[in-house]
């Protein structure tokens, strides 16, 4: 396995909260958080760091995504973000996650893609269930998700 972002687990939680890994023909994300809310926040950030430079995203527009609370909903969430990217060219740069009436509510704030300011690094087609897992590791949750590039 080749690690692109070589943060250790604790540094990544308090820094980026994720590592991008490449294994054979796959691109994957290892996402860390102290709770489910941080997993979603770091997952969205990780996904869009593959697509463009997150530092170029301005925070003008907010989209709301509501999800059932299930282990697999992290994959659903990332695919919802990819739908917003594909259909509306929406680039989220910040995420706020809360629990309301037994469901997760994510507010993704960002802007519409501007090819002059947002270099496209990779085209991500989908988050997959291939090798998907969420595990408790000490005080942290670790999610592993592979992407269809």
The 10s digit of each residue's pLDDT in 68-104 is: 887 679 999 999 999 999 999 999 999 999 999 989 9
Tell me how crowded residue 84 is: count the other CB atoms within 10 A of its CB.
Answer: 17
- What is the band of 22 on the pLDDT scale with cuts at 50, 70, 90? confident
Give the model's confidence band at 117: pLDDT under 50 very low, under 70 low, under 90 confident, else very high. very high
Residue 147's pLDDT is what?
Answer: 94
The DSSP H or E segment spanning 93 is strand 90-100
**Average confidence (pLDDT) over 127-131:** 92
Distance CA 67, CA 70 (A): 8
Integer Cα distance of 17 and 78 in angstroms: 15
Stated pTM of the model:
0.86
Q: What is the pLDDT of residue 70?
A: 77
- The total of structural domains in the chain comes to 1
Residue 24: give the domain boundaries: 2-148
Q: How far apart are CA 45 and CA 78, in angstroms?
A: 10
What's the pLDDT at 91? 97
pLDDT at 71 (0 to 100): 67
Instruction: Give whole-number Cα distances, 84 to 10, 25, 88, 141, in Å.
Output: 31, 26, 5, 26
Q: What is the CATH number of the domain that holds 61?
A: 3.55.10.10
Contact assessment for residue 98 and residue 118, using Cβ atoms and an 8 Å cutoff:
no
CA dist., res. 144 & res. 124, Å (int): 16
Which band of pLDDT confidence, cut at 50, 70 and 90, is reported for residue 5?
very low
Helix or strand holding residue 7 (H, E): none
| Token pair listed for 49 | 């760091």
């Amino acid at each position: 396995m080749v690690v692109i972002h070589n943060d250790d687990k604790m540094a990544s939680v308090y820094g980026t909260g994720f590592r991008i890994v490449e294994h054979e023909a796959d691109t994957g994300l290892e996402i860390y958080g102290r709770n489910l809310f941080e997993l979603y926040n770091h997952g969205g950030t990780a996904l869009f760091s593959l697509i463009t430079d997150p530092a170029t995203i301005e925070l003008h527009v907010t989209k709301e995504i509501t999800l059932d609370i299930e282990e697999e909903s992290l994959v659903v969430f990332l695919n919802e973000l990819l739908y917003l990217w594909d259909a509306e060219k929406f680039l989220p740069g910040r995420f706020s996650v809360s629990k309301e009436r037994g469901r997760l509510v994510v507010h993704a704030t960002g802007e519409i893609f501007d090819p002059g300011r947002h270099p496209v690094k990779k085209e991500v087609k989908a988050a997959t269930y291939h090798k998907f897992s969420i595990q408790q590791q000490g005080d942290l949750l670790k999610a592993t998700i592979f992407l269809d590039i």
